[in-house]
Amino acid sequence: MMQALNQHLAVLRTVLQRMFVSPLAGLLNILVIGIALSLPAGMYVLLQGAQNLASQLSGAPQISLFLAMDAKADDIDHLREQLAQRPGIARAEFVSRAQALEQLKQNTGLVDVIGSLNQNPLPDAFVIYPKQSDAQVLNGLRNELAKLPKVEQAQLDSAWAYKLEALLKFGRVAVLILASLLSLALVAVTFNTIRLQILTQRDEIEVAKLIGATSGFIRRPFLYFGATQGLLGGITAWLIITASLMLLNQQLGTLAQLYASQFALSQLSTGDSLSLLLFSMYLGWIGAWLSVARHLSQVEPR
């Protein structure tokens, strides 16, 4: 077991030495991978931040249930119990006719006009705070609540929810397309780097095959090279994103104070960071494996 581990460590040390035989070329390759990976990952972080900001600006979605004018106290209590039992509702606030009329006076300033009315024209109402903000879920909940007894009308302003959802879907698709294209580019970069490595070490590979080295033994350093280069590129991407978000948050802090807000872009979570590093290492390994499969078989002892 220890012997096998020592062999892998020795191969890894050799790979690191070969990677920086030409330091400038090695660093440039890693930087290219880091920048390419930071673009979709950074867009993903900005998209999450935009979603959080839009939620703060738009506020929590609400469904207003206007009751029939002939609704009695027993009807209101029964409806309150039904709303409390629904799993999709976070909370429900009752607004009486008198409260609604008082709020109307305060918000409009038409005290004299409202005071001249013979009777209160406003109905009792419930303000519903759903647990989810998905537009389709909100519409479904609104339609269900509208069928409850003594509910005259259920109102939901879902236009902002649909617009936000459409923008976020567009952003996710754009990030996915960009990530896919850049992933192919990174695989191509690793493919070409490993091809040059194989050509450079052609004599060593021929000697190794002459003395009976297995294909796995010969292939291992190149696979390690691709995976290590990808991992270092992922670390570079993480550093770029972290530094960029720190700079952006400094400017956002000043802007947020003007709007009496504490909004800030969140850094990559631990799970997202690990996913970025593993994905970058996987891309490097895939590029190396494709290159080895394509070019190593062409190197035969003469």
Q: Has this prediction a pTM greater than 0.85?
A: no
> Are residues 263 and 238 part of one domain?
yes
Inter-residue contact 293 to 202 (CB < 8 Å) = no
> Are residues 174 and 146 part of one domain?
no
Q: Which of 136, 157, 178 is the last residue of a domain?
A: 157
> Are residues 238 and 278 part of one domain?
yes
Report the domain count for the chain.
2
Q: What is the pLDDT of residues 156-182, one digit of tens each?
A: 765 666 677 777 788 888 888 988 988
- Residue 25: what pLDDT? 76
Inter-residue contact 34 to 234 (CB < 8 Å) = yes
Domain with 32, as residue range(s), is: 2-57+163-298
Nearest to 299 by CA among 216, 207, 222: 207
How far apart (Å, rounded) are the C-alpha atoms in residues 242 and 268? 8
How far apart (Å, rounded) are the C-alpha atoms in residues 245 and 255? 15
How far apart (Å, rounded) are the C-alpha atoms in residues 176 and 62? 32
> Are residues 124 and 194 part of one domain?
no
Q: What is the mean pLDDT of residues 85-103?
A: 79
141 confidence band (pLDDT: 50, 70, 90)? confident
Q: What is the pLDDT of residues 208-222, one digit of tens each?
A: 667 766 666 777 788
pLDDT: which is higher, 205 or 58: 205
Q: Which of 131, 157, 183 is the last residue of a domain?
A: 157
Q: Which of 118, 133, 157 is the last residue of a domain?
A: 157
Task: Give me the residues paired with residue 97 across strands.
Answer: none
> Are residues 110 and 39 part of one domain?
no
